[in-house]
Structure 1
Amino acid sequence: MLHPRRSAQHVLLCDACETAPLQSHCERCNINLCTNCVGKHLLDSSRKHRVIPFIEKSSTPNYPKCPSHPDKQCELHCEKCDLPVCSTCVSSGKHKGHDISDIQKKLSAKTQSLRKDLEELEIKIFPRYEEIVSDVQTEKAELETKYGKLTKAADQQGEALHREITTIVNQRKSDIAEMKIKHLAALDKNTDEITHSITELKQIILNLKAILESNDVSLISTYNSRNDEFRRLPPKVQVTLPSLSPQKINTKQLREMFGSLSSLSINTEEQGYTMKSAETASSPPVKSLLDEPRVTATIDTGNNRLFSVSCLGEEKVWTCGDNEIMKLFRLRGKLLTSIKTKSGNWPHAIAVTREGNLVYTDYRNNTINLVDKKKIQTVITLEGWEPRNVCSTASGDLLVTMISEDREQSKVVRYSGSTEKQTIQFDDQDRPLYSLARYISENRNLDICVADWGVNAVVVVNQSGKLRFRYTGHNSNSKQSFDPYGITTDSQSHILTADRYNNCIHILDQDGQFLRYIQNVFIPCGLCVDIRDNLFVAECYVAKVKKIQYL
């Protein structure tokens, strides 16, 4: 299938009549002509025409007209003036002393540059733009589903609240019915007692009447009055009706109970990388170090200890510590997601891939695992080696530090998916590069930076694994020996490493020269930098993440 912008299937038409296929080209007038229009064109005797077959056009230079001498063509180029000139211009003395060259050399260089630009536009840049548009269209197509899920979640939460309210209402109704039954029973008991007394009164009245009518001395003399007993009227049951005291509905609390909806964030974000030309590569904006780095956010993770942190975009960070739970926080401290490791073991370290998925190492069962939409997949299982730390590279590979199970060897391995691509273990003299490789990061210049806990050094090798330098600390601030732990890099190719027991971060340039400390951090362990060059520090024993602006 022919490329849509390089297809030769359409017919080129005559510039004059615009209907017939072209056959010829007039070099003087720079016009394409069909067979019929060639004759008409040559009838114009106001200038000298030079008509050639069109197929020869590409090999014949189309010289520009001289603005000073209209009947001349500019076949030369003045280097000083950087202008096309004709032979008359040169002989006139106007360009005396200037270097004059054949315009073909200039045209050849320019033509080659144009061809390179065209090739890059057609083969690399334009398809990438089409891909981006396609991605946006795909995202738009998925909006209905995604927002439908949000709406469904809102409905489900509403139904849950309705169920709770219905349960509460039914419970209150049941309580009211039970109280009514007790109230009625109390009244019935009171009525029965009074009715019994009335029956006795009726019998006493009848007996008294009978005695009086009988005029019996014996009955009258033995009569005992009970009037005192009945003068004390029976007690009246006093029942206070229950009342319902509805609380005023607090709309704010009700909204909080329902759950919050995060705001829609629309940002224009640079693509993950800038396409580079064959000759030059784009450089990031130069940023200088702040004299006083400042903490802009703090997250309390709720762990006892915290070991690793990894950025997800600008607003979220993954953390892991002294349990099997990996937590995703928003910068305001809200816990968004918790993921339990597949094995139930503590994750040794975490990283976020270019696609935004979470990767973690499990050194107890020697695996590297990928979390995609809360589903955990073991992508690498090691034999004889324990994985320690992991980082995701600009190319999408994974770099993993590991130590042998006998603790005698240490190395760095590069993986593409689950395929091992590169092993970095020895220098040019076959001496071990690492003693106990722990945290790892890839720099912008593709150097691989490792915090080697065994020899208290930062070991930096280039992309091919050749040793560039070792950094063993800076004496000006050290109270204890240099103890490198977490390590990360930024857009300026700075290397930042946590010095745990000196409670600081060392900032180095890409060649290992010490630049500055970041202080006021407590037992820093894991480090990461987001796309805006904000530093995130996992403070081990207080289990907090600090966001620090240092550029």
Structure 2
Amino acid sequence: MHCAQTVVETCTKHGDLLDMFCVDCEENICITCVQQNHRSHDWNRKNKILDRLKSELADQCHLVRQKEIPSLQTEIQKIKRLKSDNEKEFAEEIEKISSHTEAAVMSLHKLSKDLVRHCELLKSLNEENLEEKKKEIETIVFQFECSLKGFEEEIKTSNLSELLQIKKKMISIPHPKNLNKEETTLQHINFTAGEIKENLLRSILGKVDQTSRSVTVSKLLDAKIGIKRFKYISPISQTHAWCREFRSSENVLIDITKGSKEMTCSFGEYQSAPIPEDIITLKNGDNIYTWHAGHCVMKISPSKLKDAETVDIKVTKLVDISPLFPVGICAPSDNRFLVSAIDTPAIKRDSFTKDQPQKSVVILLTEKGKIKKKFQYQNDNKTPLFIYPYRIAENTNGDICVIDLSGTNNGHLVVLSSSGRLKFQYRGTGPNKADFDPRGICCDSAGHILLGDCNNRRVHLLNEKGSFLTYLIKTDEELWSMSLFSTTLWIGGENGFVYVYHYQLNDP
């Protein structure tokens, strides 16, 4: 019997035993390799690395079994319920279509019966006229027959003188009046068929759309407030909103009851003053905005914006996030803010690729400007979440909804959970999907996400899962900014146009 000998590997560089393992480099190493090249790496003796990996994998399996699988099973049950709801909704809609079609057919039958009754009436009138004329002629014939019969009897026994008298009587008998031809002409019945048009029948029967049954909009205002496209539009009430045009130093307050500017606040010269990139108004009246060129988030007290037509305002610095440049901002509540930021200045449309940011983040701030959390990478902690996070909102689920620009004329939606986990992305829909260019975003109290598609000039309505529901609004203008305040939807367009809609959430 021969015993197998264990082969002991040694390092070809140093001659030491290869009894260590570097997890970062995924290679066997010796103690000298550790000291020279792997000190800052994740390394240890092979048996310890083996035990640790076994433990980690066991923990991961346990985590998947205890958390991930039940979560997925819950989703399966949810899908089953949705399938059942879908079947029920389908059956209900089919019943509605059948009932409506039956009602339309019954209406056609009623109209058909009315036409037949009208024909029967005309037929009856013809019959009455003809019968009356027939009786009239029969009376005349009877009178002729009686007169002729009397004359014929007299002729048989009359002499010459009497026959001459009979002849005179026959000549003197009144002849019946000539019958009017029109009175004995049949009045013809003529049916003229209506034209059967498919589009008319479709309009009668209705149509089937995949659309949201819970949202309706109606236009309140369509007014030209400025001359350029709007950088942002930020409502402070259902009737008033701040807005600023691109490359303007003026913050304009719009009053939709008047359809015009109510107040103008000047921020000074374009390059040097703390001009807003994006602005929000809190419930307490404070205005918070991102000063892109100054690397800061700024604050304006509401008392600075009253009792004047033009106000030179003073602002205070809430937080400096240098070296990052802040872009979009939203306020899930009065005590915290979400700010998107990049590591390069605002990108020009003609040099997006050359000046593309290398670092793009979303930052969670406290009301005092303290940074609580940053969201930068996807679930693998390596892949960036964003290229250029332009505008930001939070829905009722606590999800962070970010417009990410991926080119000069296109972008997509990135949605994160409150912990920063990537939930889904939306890249548009329909034949013009490649031109999807979201610029405005807001969320309603039902969890819907609204996206203003600049290139395609329409508002996309999504549910909280990211599924497309409908094009809520279609316009002739590019949509550059959007915001929702209670039941008022504000949209800033091209060439200084502002659109305001009443936004109604209906009961399901």
Q: TM-score, normalised by structure 1?
A: 0.45
Q: TM-score, normalised by structure 2?
A: 0.49
